[in-house]
Structure 1
Amino acid sequence: MLPFDLPPPAGFSSTPYWNGKAFVVDGQDLQILEYSENFAGWSDDLTALHEEAAGDSHPIDLASRNDAIAQIKRCLPGGQGVVMEIGCSSGFLIRDLVKALPQATIIGADVVKDPLFRLADTLPGIPLIRFDLLQCPLPEQSIDVLVMLNVLEHIEDDVGALNNAYKLLKPGGYLVIEVPACPFLYDSYDAELHHFRRYAASDLHNKLQGVGFQIRRKSHLGFLLFPAFAAVKLLNKMLPSRKDKPVVGEQAKRTSGNGIVKIAMELESRYMASWALPFGVRALAVAQRPG
């Protein structure tokens, strides 16, 4: 049973009930509770592309998930509470959260459809909800920790999304967020992934504060890799052969198996995780709703 009530999805009349394996609505068992979709910034095909190219073990993504879990544990020192990941997609972080926080209520959410149903088959005990954050159906002040890793850049109205994220959180609740850094590095890779933008850290912080959040942590991920990363991104922008060419699959595969990338991220995670790193591949923040 979830610690809050959900509205009935379209075509149903009763309040959904989570029985530990499925949502029960009007006497029917639903694997996924579906409310709305928004494919402007993501798609089922992009999920499949990312899974094929990077899998669940890309060094940067591993470091990202480990960092997020460390931050969530700081936000929930007792290990109990409601944790929702928006943009759970393939479920790599959800699986890690179930192991790391066995006493917490873990909820996955996304706008995609096929990956959520695959995830429901592999993690039958996790409630999964399909909705567009800009049309959020969940009750306000219902979540203790909200996680959004590489999600905000896929939403055109990012301020509207942050405002709804703020409303979802209980007073004193936390948002753990990660976005691609450095607007000047936006290239064909970003366009292929349907990114509306990359972020300057100051821009992210200003938008968070603008909707009412207090910033509790500022940092970056991929600090040691940034010079090489920036060089590749600039080449993507300047070389005619790389402009408007599909590059996500090729570059994700190449970096996923790269020993230097792996060592750099392991060093950063082990020795620099507590630092406020001034630049990097991705911008990190932990923001709190006052109260």
Structure 2
Amino acid sequence: MARPWDDFRLVKAIADHGGLTAAATRLGINHSTAFRRLTAIEAALGTRLFERARTGYAATQAGTAMVAAARAMEETASQFAREVAGRASEPTGQLRVTAPSGLVTDLLMPIFAAFRAHRPGIHLDVVVSDDALNLSRRDADVAVRASNDPSPNLFGRRLATLGWALYGRADRAEADPRRADWVTLSEAVGDGRFLRFVAEHGDPERITLRLNTVTGLCEAVEAGIGIGLLPCLSADARPALRRIGSAEPPFADSLWMLTHPDLRHSVRVRAFMDFVGDAVVALRPMLEGRPLPERRARELVLSRP
């Protein structure tokens, strides 16, 4: 008996998330609805799809087969959507873009505004996320990512290097990093390189705050909690912060703009990547922590015809 697509989506979500609660949240339904639907699917198929355990839901052989079918169906639907999007003849319609929160607020939003004035027929759906969304499933059409190792399966353009440097409060005297309190990213970020930097240049016992995301890092140093490595893009724009030393090359990440190869010839994807990419490239000195060649560079870029 043929099963509706929603049944496959539910089973795949349970397998991906290891349980009903997270799967229900992902699909926008409540736990009891997900439980009833799974029970009905198993009854209709005459077999169990998952073994229930205290650690979560583990797919049975039948469940694994249904998940594999769901993934194949999802890829086929995504490929169809990419092909349709790539055949559009006019740069109009919705474009989903994903980028980390810091880049959206400190760099991209003015450029998005300029792009919208340039291409009013394209409507942006911006997904602010520090996670790498799956472009093959069209979780996004274009991704702006800080990465030194982007997926070789994606088509893209390297835009700039994102510089990092050590900063402290501007109203405080020059501090000896060995005797200063520190704010840093946690071990889970950047393979622990931020904590290693503190161990080399400061005192790990004086780490007063750790964060698992760049969001909030500048605010923590600005609040006086401690000195810390910050992205130059964000920190140099804050008068309350001052740089201690030069930019640190080991912490520089490449900034990429990426899309799925099937979308590289889409007129709206191409229009967005060309415009936004050129605007970001013009701001390379600021992104790398170097002074802009002229103070009005940002305004000149964003006011382009």
Fold match by TM threshold 0.5: no
What TM-score, normalized by structure 2, do the two folds share? Answer: 0.30
What TM-score, normalized by structure 1, do the two folds share? Answer: 0.31
Higher helix share: 2
Q: Rg bigger for which structure?
A: 2
